[in-house]
Amino acid sequence: MTSSAHPDAKVLFRVPNEDGTAEIETLWATSLGADKYQIDNSPFWAYGVSWEDVVFAPFSETEGLPAFQFIVAKSGNRTVRVIFDAPIEDGNESDKVLQDLVALGCSYEGANRKYVSINVPPGVELDEVCNYLVEKDAKWEHADPAYETLYPEDA
């Protein structure tokens, strides 16, 4: 996935773990000036952010990169992540699920052949994508919006 501008930076996201530690994810981004960046790839670990969102991320001397502070503007894109049992290979069931998601209007970016971040653009119904993944008995999660945001009563 790429936007019309060329990514010229990486933005650091700290993804908290339940034990109080954090994982680090860096996402490609295009600098918009004034510590604002447009995200230029889908997140594999961070929650609450999607492709083309604009974030505020001042440079961190400690981290050596711009560090995410908050969302400035949502792009309308949403993110779900899928973990396939069988690695994606041409024509197999994992590939069929991906191709069906593309037919629904989604795009995707793979961390590897088993772990994929699915971009759900504004014109595609998130519920339709989620229902399809449930129907296929896929292993997946809401990333943006996060499950807790969609279903606060379950959190």
Asked if residue 155 has pLDDT above 80, the reply is: no
Q: What are the structure tokens assigned to 55, written together?
A: 């974030």
Give the pLDDT confidence score for residue 2 in this predicted structure. 45
Asked if residue 84 has pLDDT above 90, the reply is: yes
Between 140 and 3, residue with greater pLDDT: 140
CATH architecture of the domain formed by 78-154:
2-Layer Sandwich (3.30)
Asked if residue 104 has pLDDT above 50, the reply is: yes
Closest residue by Cα to residue 79 from 99, 114, 109: 109
Please check whether residue 65 is in contact with residue 10, taking contact to mean a CB–CB distance below 8 angstroms: yes
The Cα 80–Cα 3 span in angstroms is 19
pLDDT mean over 79-103: 96
Please check whether residue 86 is in contact with residue 98, taking contact to mean a CB–CB distance below 8 angstroms: no
> For the chain, what are the domain ranges?
9-73, 78-154
Give the pLDDT confidence score for residue 151 in this predicted structure. 86
In degrees and rounded to multiples of 5, residue 9 shows phi and psi of: -155, 165
Quote the mean pLDDT of the chain: 94
Asked if residue 63 has pLDDT above 70, the reply is: yes
